[in-house]
Amino acid sequence: EAEVAQSPRYKITEKSQAVAFWCDPISGHATLYWYRQILGQGPELLVQFQDESVVDDSQLPKDRFSAERLKGVDSTLKIQPAELGDSAMYLCASSRLASSNEQFFGPGTRLTVL
């Protein structure tokens, strides 16, 4: 069964360092999402891509976060510099179409900032 792949699964870093997360969506899925999930809460959307274009990045803290999906397939989310409050689970999801409500999630990257 096709799955969304993410790496690394865990990342520990010190504040002010740069971190990067990678996501490979389900093959053929045009829409890719990055979510942040704080412990004890539901996921919140950071950025949505349709192919290689950003559709929604209204909740992305653009002073320190960036995301790209250069070839419209896999994607990278970067934080520079990391802050203590960035500690969370970062989830990637994909859907076949932007109009499809059924999003499939990867296993996530657990980030701890010390």
CA-based nearest residue to 77, from 96, 97, 91, 98: 91
Cβ closest to another protein, residue 28 vs residue 42? 42
Distance CA 114, CA 22 (A): 21
Distance CA 47, CA 25 (A): 14
SS3 call for 85: helix
Site for another protein in 43-102 (CB under 8 A): 43-45, 48, 56, 59, 91, 93, 98-99, 101-102
* Minimum CB–partner distance for residue 109 and another protein (Å): 10
Cβ closest to another protein, residue 39 vs residue 70? 39
Q: Which residues bind another protein (CB under 8 A)?
A: 4, 6, 40-45, 48, 56, 59, 91, 93, 98-99, 101-108, 110
